[in-house]
Structure 1
Amino acid sequence: MINTGNHLAFYSTKEWKHIRSEVRKRDNNECQGCKRQGKVFTNKSEPDKRKRLDVDHIKELEDYPELCLSIDNLETLCLRCHNIKHNRYVKKENKWNDEQW
């Protein structure tokens, strides 16, 4: 059993790197979140490093450590979809008060 307590150590293991590669192949290197919305997103469609593809645990690693390497619990997501899923997508507020102009 792999120790998932230390995330950095887990994501550096050869087992994770192997399964991540398998998931991306299975998903045709396409964001599954975008695909569900009828869009196609690949690393080639947007070469910007900040918009890369990640492999995400569908059921969270912290809650389901036994599924850490289960291919059925993994999917490819673009950074935007991944951040939205984890509520890390923060919409910037307008600094300007249009009423003052």
Structure 2
Amino acid sequence: MRTLDELVAIINVDPIKFYKTREWRDKREEIMARDHRECQRCSGRWKSDFPIKNTRLTQAKYVHHIQSLIEAPYLCIDAGNLTSLCFTCHETVERRGFNKEKKIPLTIERW
């Protein structure tokens, strides 16, 4: 088992490598089990700056760092800084979002 300082050193060099460590995989599984593999945002259990209108049960696919891994590397495996999210909520919270604007067609179809 690596120490927290060793994990922080890995994050500082290459954050992607952190997600391949045994410590992260174990913590991720622990958080998924704690949250019953349900998206905490969809179920309304996680209050964030990104409100959701309808609560529903959705299977979680990701464990999200509430405070960014880069901004707070010492919280990388802190259970209080981790929550389970589904794909849609994770993309929304990470501000990747989906571009819902209608795309302009490449060609104009005229009938």
Could you state the TM-score of these two structures normalised by the residue count of structure 2? 0.73
Richer in helix (by share): 1
Alignment gaps of 5+ in structure 1:
44-52
User: Which whole-Å CA distance do the structure 1 matches of 2:80 and 2:95 have between them?
Assistant: 23
Could you state the TM-score of these two structures normalised by the residue count of structure 1? 0.80
Query: 2:82: which partner in 1?
Result: 74
User: Which whole-Å CA distance do the structure 2 matches of 1:38 and 1:80 have between them?
Assistant: 13
The CA RMSD over aligned residues, in Å, is: 1.8
Alignment gaps of 5+ in structure 2:
45-53
Aligned length: 89
Q: For residue 93 of structure 1, report the CA deviation from its aligned partner.
A: 2.3
Which residue identity does 2:25 align to in structure 1? K
Query: 1:4: which partner in 2?
Result: 11
Kindly name which structure, 1 or 2, has the bigger radius of gyration based on alpha carbons.
Answer: 2
Question: Is 2:50 aligned against 1:42?
Answer: no
Match for residue 90 of structure 1 among 83, 92, 98: 98
